[in-house]
Structure 1
Amino acid sequence: MLEKTAPVVFQCAICFDDFPEDAVARADGCTHSFCRQCLREYATSKINDRRFPIFCPVCVTEKDRQERGVVNEIVIQQIGISDEDYQIFEELQLTSFCIFLHCRRCKNTMFVDRQELQETKIIVCPLPRCQYTWCQACQQEVEVGGAQHSCDGSSELQYLMEKQGWKPCPGCRTPVQKSEGCNHMTCITPACNVHFCYTDGLMITKGGTRTEIGNAITAHYNKCALFDVV
């Protein structure tokens, strides 16, 4: 005569009712057991609250627990939720790895990889017909093929000075462009009073009497060209 075997049951950690083992639902990464209805209602409430990831409701109450069980996509499919809630769940999954990026030139918004965007300083619109480029830190447009971008404009200014042949005042570093005349420059920045040579960029003198300035200019241009010879 065959002995009767008692059915294996478990107690749901939410409603505390007993259920047969084949009706169990568990979050991935832990051993807490739930009936499918309770875990479905719990997951649905988190989805409607736009909470992601969805952790095991028991794990979150255990303060000393390092790793928490997660109601992932496989568990969601096992417990069954509505199509509308599943669509929200998929969007939450996507946004956990991606982030919305808005291009102000083409006015389009698209998903991009979150980690890749966080590690990128210069952003290029991924749409082939746009390719607008800007700095993530200061949001300024970056010229492709131009100077290396700097948020304060220092690199762009240095690039422009080299391209145009401008010279910085050796005293205050103010950019100076010679339009005509001799190579003796006098900085017009207040309180600078530096006289310098536009040819070699060297300081001739800083302030002084008219005689001292004249002597310094004469001494410099005894070995440097005061006028450019064309």
Structure 2
Amino acid sequence: MSGGSETMDEEGTFSVSDADESSTFSDDDGIVVDPPVINVDRRYDNGADCQVLEPEQVVVEMNIIMEDVAAIVRLPPTVCRLLLYHYKWNKESLLEKFYESPDPDAFFADANIVSPFKLPHLSGNGRDVLDTCSICCNRAILTGLLCGHHFCYPCWDAYLSTKIMEEGRAYVACPELNCPIVVNDEKTLALIKSDTVKKRYRHLIINSFVECNQLLRWCPGADCGRVVKVAHSEARPVKCKCGTEFCFACVREWHEPVNCRLLQLWLKKCRDDSETSNWISANTKECPRCRATIEKDGGCNHVTCKNAACKMEFCWVCLGPWEPHGNSWYSCNRFDDSLAKKARDVQEKSRAALQRYLHYYNRFMNHQHSLKLENKLYATVKKKMEVMQQTNMSWVEVQFLQKAVDILSQCRRTLMYTYAFAFYLQKDNQSMIFEDNQRDLEHATEQLSEFLERDLENENLVSLKQKVQDKSRYVEQRRDALLKHCAEGVEHDFWKFSE
């Protein structure tokens, strides 16, 4: 393809000239967790079963599948691409339906394509004609599809550009009302004038292929545009050439030890208004009669429901009727009756649930905040490494500082996700072991953080290196112990979660 404007070579294969300006896809659940950063755990090796592909290499894989289908069904490449898109790029499913369908016309109609077997009988369709455009009502040269609907070139350009740029459509239907026939990529690119729209269109076609393929994922790194390919689709850490490490299953940053499903629940809980109801339950009470929500705004325990249809007077402490209280205006010393006790039990459970959530949420956010602050250590460490090299230490010898900050970052990230893991974890002997490992790792991580933040300026170089290396090794050991225990729990199925 030449000049960045063609997408078809002589054999009809699809090609791409430019990567899109951004191949990063939004994550609706990503409000709490920041996008993956480059300075993360560097120990992971993708292995032989994982490849990082450029957009051009993805196009090659698309064309291989398209050519295989075209060779079998003996149909034009443009038709094969539309069929593959309809069947979500599943070659086996497409071929199965193709050969099992008793009615070929119905098979193509289901994919919103004019049957190629009808083409000899569709004289004139798709050719340019001089007529009045039904969109702008101007008399001009009209061009159309095999469905027989014609429109002027400016209207085609405006229509396709809107669908591509504003709606993100890779495959666009005919502008005619109730006509489902899809415009193929050759026709689309011939009708679009803007190079920006063409670039976006190419990216959308590639994206449709990537999103339908369980073995492919876009790298979520900012302005990366590469695709990671694996041999088996599973939750695992993968690393792009840009340095971004992420979970292949959910495309968030690698979140060991919590699994993707629980992490999604946790992020939703942190993001939406679900905890607002907990706050209401913890800080308000319901009228015992009409169940209206009441917030106490004074010190008196004698409360009157504001509901005009109720107006019940009751005790804020025990939720019982106020009349039997006699003159005990400000202290409730009545024995609990069953109804009042039940109401208080519900209230206490709501308060306990809120306190439990805040315990894990605050620690989750604290480690996330510390992680952001410690990312600034890279600049400080770089300066310290330069100073150390001026005191007869080689570049290799001072790398322990860079490695220590890497270890610190990965431990902060692991600790952050242990609190999401622990929030849903049911209490038992194994959970106690997990909490012990969590506590040990947290304590060691804080010590390493103190060494790197405080001792960079105060310690002599020999002492500093020894302290940092010893603590870094210990922190790694504690992290490995925690993650090993979590992995054993998954393998032997002894973790029990409450969702």
Could you say whether these structures have the same fold, taking a TM-score greater than 0.5 normalized by the shorter chain as the test?
Answer: no
Q: TM-score, normalised by structure 1?
A: 0.41
Which structure's relative contact order is higher, taking Cα pairs within 8 Å and 6+ residues apart?
A: 2
Higher strand share: 1
Per residue, is there more helix in 1 or in 2? 2
